[in-house]
Amino acid sequence: MEDFAAMKALHLFCAFSLLAAMVAARAEDTNQAAATAPAATPGFSDPSKLTEKAPETFKAQFTTTKGKFTVEVTRSLSPNGADRFYNLVRSGYFKDIAFFRVIPGFMCQFGIHGDPAVAAKWMDANLTDDPVKGSNTRGTITFATAGPNTRTTQLFINFADNANLDGMGFSPFGKVVEGMDVVDKINSEYGEGAPRGRGPSQGRMQAEGNAYLAKSFPNLDYIKSASLLP
């Protein structure tokens, strides 16, 4: 009887040991799979999904390397532009985004994503033009264009009253209502972009991202984040 009890205990011990080893192995496999799984694709990488209609008015706060500023948007001024801006902000697109073209007395330009893979997704996500209903006065925010119906993600904030842009199809959709003094401080040492000036090349920004900017233009200011205000 004692031998039978000992053998039974031994069998139970072995069974429990085997079970514990199987659980541990499965946990290790799960952890390894989690460690090697690809990172989730950010929501702002797919322009086709960022088409929500913006509220008629809303505010977005930008945190930059110079401080914070707030933009107030009026959708009726430029509906397509306002909708695109709203979706870019709410999706988290504006993170580590450089002010790459800053010309004193004129405007500061931004909006090319620092990750070339993301920038490539947006290159052909063109918006239909909006009629110009407001003027490019100081503090207004407007999408940059390269001709009719070519707006994507690049924007600029006017440092001065640039009414000459109105007749060229640049349609403002909002205005900086707090922190224009912060915008005025954005670094302008590199000025106009290449090839006309000594600033960054947009082509190289698209191809090489923030690595190119960090190496060749280390003093640029950046948007660290942007969020919709309640």
Tell me: pLDDT of 49 over 80: yes
In a domain, 42, yes or no: no
In a shared domain, residues 6 and 111: no
In a shared domain, residues 201 and 142: yes
In a domain, 158, yes or no: yes
Q: Residue 179: give its domain's CATH number.
A: 2.40.100.10
Beta bridge partners of 222: 98
In a domain, 202, yes or no: yes
In a domain, 43, yes or no: no
How far is 75 from 73, CA to CA, in rounded Å?
Answer: 6
Looking at residue 138, what DSSP letter applies?
Answer: T
In a domain, 119, yes or no: yes
Domain range for residue 31?
Answer: 1-37
In a shared domain, residues 27 and 99: no
Maximum average pLDDT range among 9-13, 23-27, 35-39, 143-147:
143-147
Under 8 Å between Cβ of 154 and 107? no
Mean pLDDT throughout 40-50? 80
Residue 97 falls in which region: left (phi positive, over 0), alpha (psi -120 to 50) or beta: beta
Under 8 Å between Cβ of 98 and 110? yes
In a shared domain, residues 130 and 20: no
Out of 4-18, 37-51, 124-138, 172-186, which region has the weakest mean confidence (pLDDT)?
A: 4-18
In a domain, 98, yes or no: yes
In a shared domain, residues 57 and 18: no
Tell me: pLDDT of 116 over 50: yes
In a shared domain, residues 66 and 174: yes
Beta bridge partners of 92: none
Question: CB 99: neighbour CB atoms within 10 A?
Answer: 23
Query: Total structural domains in the chain?
Result: 2
Under 8 Å between Cβ of 171 and 78? yes
In a domain, 170, yes or no: yes
Tell me: pLDDT of 9 over 70: no
**Residue-averaged pLDDT of the chain:** 87
Q: pLDDT at position 41, please?
A: 55
